[in-house]
A and B are shown apart, each in its own frame.
Chain A
Amino acid sequence: MKISILSTAHVHFEAFASAVKQCADTELAGIYDDDAHRGKKKAADLQTVFFENIHDALSVCEAVVVCSENAKHEELVLASIEANKHVLCEKPLAISTVSAERMAKKAVEQDVVLATAFPLRFNTPAMELKQVIDQKLIGEVLAFHGKNPGQCPKGWFIDKKLSGGGALMDHIVHLADLMRWLTGAEVSKVYAEADSFLVPCITIDDVGHVQLEFDNGIIADIDPSWSRPEGFPTWGGIDLRATGTQGAVDLRAYAQKVAQYNNTKTLHHDYGDFEYLYMMNAFVLAIGNQQTELANAWDGVAATKIVEAAYQSAKEHEVVTIA
């Protein structure tokens, strides 16, 4: 299956590109980017074609990966759906619920796959956690304690017009989606405190502390802060503790690392499975109408609602109910 990648703006571009290249059923058809300079360079690195015009990129493929700045997802996704292409869109699906819903509805109308990239669903330790929970090894889940801290990605991420928001927009959705996927429950209430005081010279939110209540009574929290300084040996991490009536389970989704030290710095090298590849496999299967764990557009909508509620709560200092 031929896949074009629309935009190279997001830091996950490299991961998507190598997944498309590694996956046995996909082939990289080319790259479109509204920043031609950036796009040409990335295309050259990957020895693939660069398209200045999105319609040319769409005409050579069956499906696309959208990897742009958050605020440009809707435009690229809608253009792709109109051209009858299946879409795997980088998270968050959109910067507002109305935008996410427009995209999801359009995909239904055109009968194409619109998937949201939540690679944690394909992270091997996280999949094992799902087994532990499904088999009720810790009894009934009562609570989740989640951490998804990271380094500040800078660039367009700190420009609200392009990102839609800072750390909360960037990092709530992974764990929020994971909790929904693990339990099948929906978030009904959100409380958040947010601020900007960790990264110097930026005004966008870089601190967040979010609490959630699910419709089945599970309580949860998430730390999406950009709290890892530049000297931190890795980008961040995703940790989740599930506490149940008969025990607790600790997930450190990216603990599988080898450390390297030299005279000036410390580096961490991942050796865990490459979840983007398994997500790409699932995308191909979903296009062939098979059941997969892939997050669909409505999962993307649900995660976006949670982010929106968190921003509202942080502003109003009240618990926000999700309808």
Chain B
Amino acid sequence: MKVVILGYGFIGTIHLNAYQKMNDVEVAGIYSTTKTGSIEGIKVYNDLDECLELADVVDICLPTFMHREIFEKAVAKGKHIFLEKPIAHTEEDCRFMLELEQRSNVKIMVGQVLRYFPEYRQLKNKIDPGKPASSLLSRRSQLPVSGKNWSLDRKNSGGVILDLLLHDIDFACWAFGPVTRIFAQSDTEHYYALLTLRHENGSITRLEGSWRYDGGFVQEAEIAQENELFTYNSQEVHPLQVHRNVLTSKDSTEIPAVLLRDAPWYLELREFIDAIRYDQPVPITLQDAYESTRVALLALKSADEKRPISLVKELNA
């Protein structure tokens, strides 16, 4: 199967590593606007259409604000699509893309990768789905690095809520079900946010997202149910830590340290490739991802309008 990677930045690099472990996948090309020549023996294309022609599957790793346009082109050419989260940065783009999907018959999967982190799978499997939960989810890092700093501009990335906290919002929707009410506050730059979600089954989820944390990357979950409490903090479960007496620079985007044979980014792409090979449903559809993306977009609206947003009311409006 021939895959082309569109956008070779932070996540594009991780995806290339994952494909290189698959002997049934050939990365036929990389689309980049800044690089030329080849990367690890793979030809780099500066012409998108030329690159798309090579592919059975396109993997969209470009900045969020470009997703819609690239997605439209790939669907038009009948390519299977792996789309990085978030689907898009506006409700309008999301809906447009959902409509395109309706009319296509290609496989489309969204990279809500937290669902492939085994610790979050454990949490989801151990909680009692018949009982409401009270949860606290937090994700913190230093300010991320991106091409032309696109991710720091809320207009392009959706800020910390859509770019970072969406991981946990998606987990909350996946683990506790649909959301009925949202309240959010953030700082003016949208580098820090606090969210409260009320779910249809009565669960309450409170989230903290921060790009203002220089204490090392942290993902954290605390889930309480009747007579039960689950806790997880990525900084307390490091299986290996190297301590060097040289100064190291901290100038890249931080992600959780994963010490597993198969990283979550590998697992999600592997399942997508298999879904295409064996013509099976994809594990995370555009519609699945839209549920949580929409919650994140409404959280932005709540923070702007300084009021809680009820999804029931919003739907009727």
Residues on A facing B (Cβ under 8 Å): 142-143, 145, 147, 149, 189, 191, 193, 195, 197-200, 207, 209, 211, 213, 219-221, 223, 225, 227-230, 232, 241, 243-245, 247-248, 250, 317-319
Q: How many CB-defined contacts (below 8 Å) exist between A and B?
A: 101
A211–chain B nearest beta-carbon distance, Å: 6
**Chain A residue nearest in CB terms to B180:** A317
B207–chain A nearest beta-carbon distance, Å: 9
Known: A147-B136, A195-B202, A229-B229. A243 touches B210 (CB 8 A): yes
Q: What is the interface of chain A mostly: helix, strand, loop, or mixed? A: strand
The reply to whether A142 and B192 form a contact with Cβ atoms under 8 Å apart is yes
How many residues of chain B get a CB closer than 8 Å to chain A's CBs? 35
The reply to whether B307 and A318 form a contact with Cβ atoms under 8 Å apart is yes
Known: A219-B187, A219-B194. A200 touches B226 (CB 8 A): yes
Q: What is the interface of chain B mostly: helix, strand, loop, or mixed? A: strand
Residues on B facing A (Cβ under 8 Å): 131-132, 134, 136, 138, 140, 181, 183, 185-187, 192, 194, 196, 198, 202, 204, 206, 208, 210, 212-215, 222, 224-229, 306-308, 310
The reply to whether A195 and B204 form a contact with Cβ atoms under 8 Å apart is yes
The reply to whether B308 and A319 form a contact with Cβ atoms under 8 Å apart is yes
Q: Which 8 A-B pairs have the closest CB atoms?
A: A227-B224, A219-B185, A209-B206, A207-B134, A193-B204, A221-B194, A142-B187, A197-B132
Task: List the B side residues contacting A207 at CB < 8 Å.
Answer: 134, 204, 224
The reply to whether B308 and A191 form a contact with Cβ atoms under 8 Å apart is yes
* A199 CA / B132 CA spacing, docked (Å): 12
Task: List the B side residues contacting A243 at CB < 8 Å.
Answer: 192, 210, 212-213
Write 5 A-B pairs (CB below 8 A) sorted by A numbering: A145-B138, A191-B183, A193-B196, A195-B204, A209-B196
**Chain B residue nearest in CB terms to A316:** B308
The reply to whether B204 and A317 form a contact with Cβ atoms under 8 Å apart is no
The reply to whether B212 and A248 form a contact with Cβ atoms under 8 Å apart is yes
Interface centre among B134, B202, B204, B307 (most CB of A within 10 A): B134
* A29 CA / B132 CA spacing, docked (Å): 49
* A287 CA / B187 CA spacing, docked (Å): 41
Task: List the A side residues contacting B210 at CB < 8 Å.
Answer: 243, 248
A153–chain B nearest beta-carbon distance, Å: 16
Known: A207-B204, A243-B213. A191 touches B196 (CB 8 A): yes
Known: A145-B208, A197-B202, A200-B227. A227 touches B194 (CB 8 A): no
Interface centre among A145, A193, A200, A225 (most CB of B within 10 A): A193
10 additional contacts, CB 8 Å, given A142-B212, A221-B206? A143-B187, A143-B194, A145-B138, A197-B134, A199-B227, A200-B227, A209-B204, A211-B183, A227-B229, A248-B214
B231–chain A nearest beta-carbon distance, Å: 10
* A53 CA / B93 CA spacing, docked (Å): 73
